[in-house]
């Protein structure tokens, strides 16, 4: 089990041709980021003050995640030893996997700040 986060762009029109031979216009949203992280890292995320940002998913736009996640990422990377103590004993998840997930999410939010955030906790 884990947390999945998606960044979804605005709805756009696309033409498609179906089996009936007609060309139709459909509306679609494109997913520009897909990421997931194990629930085993919630203790580490809490200690880095990013648990509620990620797991409660109270934000609507990607731009809203940039600052709190950047602050949390700075905290995580400033003292790896402190956060490695939260590595799950079962091996599912690690300090490195949380740092990588947050880095990728911050980069995607920075690149696509107007995207909608969809969370599946």
Q: What are the strands of the beta sheet with 2-17, ordered from one edge?
A: 23-38, 2-17, 116-120
Q: What's the whole-number mean pLDDT along residues 66-84?
A: 97
Work out the mean pLDDT of the chain and round it to a whole number: 91
Could you tell me which of 9, 19, 113, 11 has the C-alpha nearest to residue 105?
A: 113
Q: How many CB atoms lie within 10 A of CB 120?
A: 10
Residue 51 confidence (pLDDT): 96
Whether pLDDT at 21 is above 80: no
Q: pTM for the complete prediction?
A: 0.85
Mean pLDDT of 67-73: 97
**Separation of alpha carbons 76 and 87, rounded Å:** 13
Helical residues (DSSP H) of the chain, grouped into ranges = 42-47, 51, 63-78, 80-84, 95-111
Closest CA to 38 of 117, 97, 89, 109: 97
The pLDDT-based confidence of 13 (bands split at 50, 70, 90) is low
Percent of the chain at pLDDT exceeding 70: 95
């Amino acid at each position: 089990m884990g947390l999945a986060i998606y960044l979804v762009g605005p709805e756009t029109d696309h033409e498609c041709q179906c089996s009936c031979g007609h060309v139709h216009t459909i509306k679609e949203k494109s997913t520009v980021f897909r990421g997931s992280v194990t629930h085993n890292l919630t203790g580490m995320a809490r200690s880095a003050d990013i648990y509620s940002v990620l797991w409660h998913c109270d934000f609507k736009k990607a731009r809203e995640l940039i600052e709190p996640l950047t602050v949390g990422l700075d905290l995580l990377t400033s003292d790896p030893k402190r956060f490695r103590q939260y590595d799950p004993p079962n091996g599912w998840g690690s300090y490195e996997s949380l740092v990588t997930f947050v880095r990728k999410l911050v980069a995607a939010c920075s690149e696509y700040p107007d995207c909608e955030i969809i969370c599946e906790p």
